[in-house]
Each structure stands twice: as structure tokens, then as C-alpha cells.
Amino acid sequence: MTTTTPRQAVEAVQANPLLPEGDDERFTGYGVMGVPFASGHYLALRDFVATSVGPAYRAIWHRDPQGRWTIHTTGAPELTCPRYFGSVTATAQVPSISVSWHDDHTLDVTLGDQLSWRIELQATPATQMMTTMGGMLPEAGWNSSVVLAAMGPMARTMLGTGRIRLHGATPNGPLFKAAPLQVWRLAGADATYHGQNLGEPGPLGRQTHLGDFWLPQRGIFFVGRARFTPAGEQVDRTVGAAGTTMGR
């Protein structure tokens, strides 16, 4: 690997925002897969620098302690995260989301006066091993449901995230395949949302999910790709049917 820090990895994908080949809906970028707070809040970040369905965009996902999700997106909802998850979330289109790096392992995410979020990242033996494995896996492997089905439990064990699925059905119907090529652990997070400090990171009492996409119980940062079957296309919903109609 030539990129050894999260900042370097992000700068590399920004400088060369390539999409994998295919006729499905494809996204390339980075973000925080998710981080839970002991207060019951949950945050996630998506910064997709290239997509096959529209312009690049950023999105912040927020879940309140009552289990209500809101996706804040800088792009048109029908071309961004709500395209796949919006049936079980509120959606807010926003003019901008700012991401700035303080050093190679620390970044700030800002959503106007609504959210201020500092994120500190670290590499661990487990994240380094997962990243090495991700770099060795050919594109055909990342596009294989069989391979992804095996990698989810592996990530759960190695990263201590709770349940992880790298493929399955989204709440809106399309199937997803996630390819976190490089990962780091969140060493710390401090966030204020609508004037409320969210407190210390910590696992939720019950792990949350949107359709078959389970949000990790420990903060994880990624650089990678995602694929979705085209919105509106009829798909076999027997692929991970449990929990596809509501978020928690």
C-alpha cells in the first residue's frame, strides 16, 4: 500500500475518482460508516466523489434516541442516499457540508450551524489486516455476493462492530454491495447537533439497521465503493428479506 493514512487515502481517491465498471449504479468515495453515541444518537458520513447516477455529493445521516433517521444531503434526494434509504428516513437537502482535515488522522465535519463534528482516526492491527485483505481482493470478489457474505462476519469479529452485512436489500428495494477497501477505527468523536452535545461514543442498546444495511456499533472510517441495482428494477427480495421495511 502506498497510502498509509486516512487523509492520504482520501486525497488519492479525490485526485482519481474512478468508478468500477458495470451497468449497475456505482459510487466511489469515503466516509464514516457510522458511529454510535451512548446518548442514543448516531451519525454517519458519506462523501461520494464520483457516482454513475449524478454529481458528486456529501451526506450526513443522523438517528435520534427515538430511532428517527434524517439524511442531510447536498445533492438531489432522488440521486443520492435517499434514493435507496429514503423510505424509512426523513430527508433534508442542504446547500453544503464542509469537511476539513487538521492532520492526517483528524477531521472536522460541519453542517452549517446544525452540526459540528470532530473525528479522530487510528489504524489498528485489525484495520490494517482488513485493509490489506481489501487491497488483495480482485474486483470480481467485491462484486460477489458469496464473498461479501463471508466478509461481513469476518469484519464483525475483527473490528468488534456488531453485525455487518456487505450485501443485501435497501429499504427502498434495490440491492446493495459495499466495498470498504481501506478502513480505520474512530479513536474519538465529539459532536454537537442542533446545540446538543451528543456525548461520548458508545454502542447503542440495540444495534440499528436500515433494511439489510447494519450500522456498526463501533466507529469505522472507510474509503471504498458501493453498488446498487437500478432503482425501480424488480429484484429478488429473498436476498436478506428480514428488516427491509423499517429502520430502527
Span 183-238, pLDDT tens digits:
999 999 999 999 999 999 999 999 999 999 999 999 999 999 999 999 766 444 43
Collapsing DSSP states into helix, strand and coil, what is residue 152?
A: helix
> Residue 231's pLDDT is what?
73
Q: Tell me what the pLDDT averaged over the chain comes to.
A: 92
Distance CA 205, CA 40 (A): 8
pLDDT, one tens digit per residue, over 219-228 is: 999 999 999 9
Q: Does residue 58 carry a pLDDT above 70? A: yes
Q: Percentages helix, strand, coil for the chain, rounded to the nearest 5?
A: 20, 40, 40
40: in domain: yes
Residue 44 lies in a domain: yes
Question: Which pLDDT score, from 0 to 100, does residue 105 have?
Answer: 98
Angle between helices 125-136 and 145-159 (to 10 degrees): 170
Whether 218 is in a domain gets the answer: yes
Q: How far apart are CA 65 and CA 45, in angstroms?
A: 18
CA-based nearest residue to 179, from 227, 122, 214, 146: 227
Q: In angstroms, rounded to a whole number, what is the distance separating the alpha carbons of residues 81 and 72?
A: 9
- Read off the pLDDT of residues 80-112 as tens digits, 9 standing for 90 and up: 999 999 999 999 999 999 999 999 999 999 999
Q: Does 185 reside within a domain?
A: yes
Residue 55's pLDDT is what? 98
Predicted TM-score (pTM) of this structure = 0.91
What backbone torsions phi and psi does residue 44 show, to the nearest 5 degrees?
-145, 155
Residue 2 has pLDDT above 50, yes or no: no
d(CA 243, CA 245): 6
Give alpha helix (H) positions in the chain.
6-15, 82-85, 125-136, 139-142, 145-159
| For the chain, percent of residues with pLDDT exceeding 90 | 83
Output the pLDDT for position 169: 97
- Please tell me the predicted confidence (pLDDT) of residue 248: 39
Task: Examine residue 244 and state whether it is found in any structural domain, yes or no.
Answer: no
Residue 224 covered by a domain: yes
Please tell me the predicted confidence (pLDDT) of residue 238. 38
Q: Which domain holds residue 52?
A: 6-228
- Answer yes or no: is 235 within a domain: no
Residue 129 located in a structural domain: yes
- Residue 241: the pLDDT is 35
Domain count, the chain: 1
Q: What phi and psi values does residue 31 have, to the nearest 5 degrees?
A: 165, -175
